[in-house]
Structure 1
């Protein structure tokens, strides 16, 4: 980061303390991860070729609120995304069926790609196999711990991948940071959890869905959740991480095409 920032050391300021101010700063190519930019004000900035991914609400660009436009475009591109808004039991079942089929299509796509694809990280994001392991972790937390209220030793798969903020504490849940399951093993466990979610939803009643549930340990226990709400989180994770995975698979495919020799390679 170049000149123009003062004060600030990367830590969250205490209430009433001065905020960092960037004036005539060159932030080209900088990368912000797991960063809270709420309330940021930008004036006279150049934002060319930027890529923003996250929870974006209330963002205004040149006086126009962006979130509704983004939401509408995402719905246009991915009609199945709208299924997340129906929190009824039939709605949860429909979303689960659609997303399970969506993931199966992606597994088939990966099966047709080079075997090393599943271990490729794009821009330091999860590899494909890490994504599957993370979704198992999510299902274990929100389905098993949350919706089913399980507290036995087998709630969490030891090879699950916790989100970045909680990863250091995930050992308390029996997660093994050194675990390195094969893609085949990770896929088998992932499919088993998908079936578990489907089986639970098949027997779920509206009355049971409305019952209170304790969120997994990385959440604030005082935050109210219901059984149905826990399942909604599982499905949201399914959708979000599928979009990330497909995005990265497209990048990997694009790189492979760029690196492949042309038909007339060597003839010129």
Structure 2
């Protein structure tokens, strides 16, 4: 039984191997067929692509030829118009050049005439300027001489003024010395108990008051009255009065005097004006 079983298994194994070989052969055949179909399909696709490319190339070529024909026709039409326009422009430009040439010729002629006029005016102006410079030089020379004389005169005058100032200074010094001596002599005379100043009167010569309490002195002339009489004199429009003695227009100033006791010696009285 085991032998039969083993044989049976071997037969099944052989059958299984044959089945596997058949399946493998069928699978390989299917793969080969699929590969052939794929290659055929690729070849067909390449043919179709080539055909489409050829059609596209022919279409593009046709469109290009049509475009070139249109451009050629347009160029021909534009060429005629452009040629006519170029001819018109050339003619117009030639006329403009001729006009500009004539204009420049006239302008150069005017410039030459203007230059000649300018040169003539410049020449005349130079002559006038030279004459003016000559006159100014003469005037300057005269002014220099005059200034020199003036400076000499001023120097002489300054020297004379210096001499006069020295003389005036000396005269002032002499006057001051004389005044100082006179003041000194007057003070000595006033301090002398037998001085004549003690006999001078304080009486007002207008109201005849012998000894007024306050007196007033006229600024312009120095005449004196009592303060009451000075106040009674009528003032003028400018605020001045007429001196009752010399009729000068003046103002007056009231004096301030110290009261002296009666028992004090009369020779030591002092009046403050």
TM-score range normalised by the length of the shorter chain? under 0.3
Q: How does the TM-score come out when normalised to structure 2?
A: 0.18
Q: How does the TM-score come out when normalised to structure 1?
A: 0.18
Greater helix content:
2
Higher RCO, Cα 8 Å, sep 6+: 1
